[in-house]
Amino acid sequence: MERITNRAKQVERKPMTFLESIYLVAIVKGLMITLKHFFMKKATINYPEEKRPFSPVFRGLHVLNRDEEGRENCTACGLCALACPAEAITMEAAERLPGEENKYREEKYAAKYEINMLRCIFCGFCEEACPKDAVYLSQTVAPASFNRKNFIYTKEDLLIPHPKSAE
């Protein structure tokens, strides 16, 4: 059979010497690697006492933002729900009633805003799609739970606290 390239090499199969047959050199090399790793810094951390620092680009739980006066930034445009590849965001729009100018910035607001965190892949597309900077992903880790209902966050769970009522 003719070779396509000249990269192939003929392997020489010579018999092993006595020193090679008792594998003494290989055992010493393995022990040297073990000793080298014995004195290296350990990769594990003691979790409850020490916490691993997150990457600066870490994406955690979603947060719905408010403006300086405490009004909701979300105008229920639905771009975040459209941008979500996992279809984890559900929202329903409603019109602002007279006298609710102190609660909502625009005439339209999100009456229902839910994120299913079991479906969310934390891609950040919702944050990028929002024209009003109403939704962003924080540095908070999602808490563990045994109940599936605890992973569906409503608008009340996602809104940051009102700045004037927190004082």
**pLDDT at residue 89 in the model:** 96
pLDDT tens profile 62-90: 999 998 888 889 999 999 999 999 999 99
- Contact of 130 with 98, CB cutoff 8 Å: no
* The pLDDT of residue 130 is above 80: yes
Q: How many CB atoms lie within 10 A of CB 79?
A: 18
In this prediction, residues 1-10 reach a mean pLDDT of 79
Question: Which residues define the annotated binding site for [4Fe-4S] cluster?
Answer: 74, 77, 80, 84, 120, 123, 126, 130
Q: How many CB atoms lie within 10 A of CB 75?
A: 20
Alpha carbon distances (Å) from 47 to 53, 57, 81, 84, 110: 11, 21, 36, 33, 39
Q: What is the pLDDT of residue 103?
A: 84
Give Dmax (Cα) for the chain: 96
Q: What's the pLDDT score for residue 167?
A: 52
Cα–Cα distance for residue pair 62/51, rounded to 1 Å: 22
Q: Which domains does the chain possess?
A: 62-158 (3.30.70.3270)
pLDDT of 90 reads: 95
Residues tagged in the binding site annotation: 74, 77, 80, 84, 120, 123, 126, 130
Mean pLDDT of 37-65: 89
Structure tokens at 44: 């594990």
> In sequence order, which residues have a C-beta less than 8 Å from that of residue 140 and are 6 or more positions away?
60, 61
CB contact at 8 A, 130 and 83: no
pLDDT at residue 33 above 90?
yes
Higher pLDDT, 84 or 106: 84
